[in-house]
Amino acid sequence: MKVVIAEKPSVARSIAAVLHATNKRDGYLQGGAYAVTWAFGHLVTLCEPDHYGWVKWTKETLPMLPENFDLQPAHRYDPVKKESKVDPGISKQLEIIKQLFIQAELIIVATDAGREGELIFRYIYEYLNIRKPFKRLWISSLTDKAIQDGFRSLQDGSKYDKLYYAAKARSEADWLVGMNATRALSVAAGKSLFSIGRVQTPTLAIVCSRFLDNQNFKPKAYYVLRIDLSKNAQAFSAYGVTNYEQREKAQEVLRLAVSTDKAIVTSVEKNEVSEAVPLLFDLTSLQQEANKKFGLSADETLKAAQSLYEKTYITYPRTGSRFIGDDVFAEVPSLISVAKGHAKYGVAASSMPAILNRRSVNASKVTDHHALLITDHLPKELSGDEERIYDLVLSRMLEAFHDNSISDKTVANLDSGGIPFKATGSVIKHKGWRSVREGEKSEESQREQSSEDNPDNSQLPELRQGERVQRTGAECMEKFTRPKPIHTEASLLKAMETAGKDIEDEAAREAMKDCGLGTPATRAAIIETLLNRSYIEKQKKKLVPTPKGLATYELVKGKPVSSAVLTGQWEKKLSDIGSGGIAYAEFMMEIKEYAATVSSELLSFGASLASVATDSAQADNLACPKCKKGTIRKGEKNYWCTGYKDGCDFKIWLEIAGKKLSEANVKQLVQKRKTSLIKGFKSKASNDFEAVLKMDDTYKLTFDLGNKK
């Protein structure tokens, strides 16, 4: 018997259907020569410090450096009992997998084809002490054809040993840095208030640094001159080539400029400008676009994309590549033909050029998986978020293989009263890829084509060097310097991708991706961790640090543990382990040395933590509205009362109707019994709605929809 193990039940069902293994058994499907079973993500994890004897949170137990890491079934944390324990469902599934593996003549690994998917299987394999041979199914979509092709070309499991060591190094590095730094900082503070992570803390530092820069920014006024002109009844504007810091100086220059009612055209330059098509989406760029266009969080986008993948509508979403190889490019014309039947983008698909653009075709830049594409299965019914994400993937695919957009750009230099001015105009003469989402707002497809201080005219009249044009008006405009905006999820994802560096250029960002914070598959979870641990909160689209987050940042800023660059360099080394560039043992030696150093450094904070710990505790101190004695604490799944030992069962779930409540929402419920208007709830039919949450006299939450049904 051949045993196939998938990452989750839904994927197992897709594979089992192709293999005709349709007989349902307890924990697996069977048919013919196959049994198809599944994990529930990470069924097996690294043991907690208690396992090695480091039970007490004391200075003497640090640093904790296991000689060898042991494995255990995944535990679930009980916020009420404040303890971790093995989930019975996980234990049962592990036993089912063990018995199947013992009977197997061959194991086929069908967990997600990537670093974490490899780790999920290998940890199960190692924990169960199985020594049966295994082969790897490596596919980029779950269509029947992709699965059939994958089973015809199974790879020897040893081919992915280096990928496993990269995943193992990531897992152990996170344990060493996270466990030691968290305990060291909490011991120094005297309270378990702080959580430090290898990727989490540098990400928090990016959010806090930008927030503080924004709040401390002092805008400065400057002045820009504008003259209004007309030729043959066509109005246009020109702007001074110099900005002024003093209003008086700007007005003095403007008086010279308006001393004549004619402006002289000193030069005219016309150029044809070709704007390249955008690259295909990887997961991070898809999350950025979905956040800008729809306000979806990185986690919401990932969940929708994963669902589309499991329903066979798009290719593997957790990809870090924006390119495809020639073999995949050969299938693109048939995918475009499928798209002709799409209600929204069918017309655009039918209008694609005969020769497709190859900007996104580069096999050397394809990582574990190629860029996101649709499959040959056109969806019929999708939920709201699924439809939005599918439309983004489809429209970007059409844009990426379309023609470049071509514009005529005109720059006219003028002289008015001896003062130089410049007028620019841009006219699109071939829409190309811009025609796909014409009329839609999109961060990338609607880029600014001119600076704020010298905006384009929609079109300039025909101008010739030496001619005079009528001046109809003039203005000295006061403007202010502006700070960099507070991070949104979209801008934070971009910063994580490039290890905190502000890189706007698409090609330069591509070059930095290997040195980013986390991976495309993990960045959403990192942001969610910061939100769930109350280090940051959402204020509309903005990500704002909480008092607890700022307190933690003030402690670690400038230290290596908060360095996005250092963590980015580690991520590059993990990638190098996967490709054979460096050895697992070499990397782990460096991480162990770092864990010891950071423990010592954080323990030395001592007294400086006292006031911070108190401030942080007070920031979270909410009295329970039910028992009036306990205080509200945040767990993994809900807010709960510390008076549970005395029988108080007060709870507020972190997520209600598909919407994660912010800390501010919970404070409103506890203190005022109702929230402000919250957007983004989802009905059972996956329709979005907005409502006020109210808490009644029995402490039950209800929706107040106002006058809406």
Active centre residues (catalytic): 316
**Contacts (Cβ under 8 Å, ≥6 apart) of 250:** 223, 224, 225, 244, 476
> Who's near 281: CB < 8 A, 6+ residues apart?
289, 322, 371, 372, 392, 393, 396
Taking CA 207 as the corner, what is the angle to CA 206 and CA 209, rounded to the nearest 5 degrees?
65
* Straight-line distance from the first to the last Cα atom of the chain, in angstroms, rounded to the nearest whole number: 55
Distances in Å between the Cα of 110 and the Cα atoms of 117, 135, 692 are: 8, 9, 44
3-class state of residue 319 by DSSP: coil
Full DSSP string of 479-507:
EE--PPPPPBHHHHHHHHHTTT-----HH
Q: 3-state secondary structure string, 561-573? A: HHCHHHHHHHHHH
Cβ proximity of 342 and 348 under 8 Å: no
Closest CA to 639 of 588, 695, 589: 695
CA–CA separation, 533 vs 641, rounded Å? Answer: 16
Cα–Cα dist 328/433, whole Å: 21
Q: What is the DSSP string of 596-625?
A: HHHHHHHHTTTTHHHHHHHHHHHHT--B-T
The residue whose two tokens read 């699965």 is: 147
Beta strands per DSSP E along 241-362: 262-275
Report the C-alpha gap between 320 and 334 in whole angstroms.
24
- DSSP-based three-state secondary structure for 337: helix
CA proximity to 560, closest of 181, 176, 66: 181
Residues 6+ apart with CB under 8 A from 168: 119, 122, 584
CB 237 within 8 A of CB 457: yes
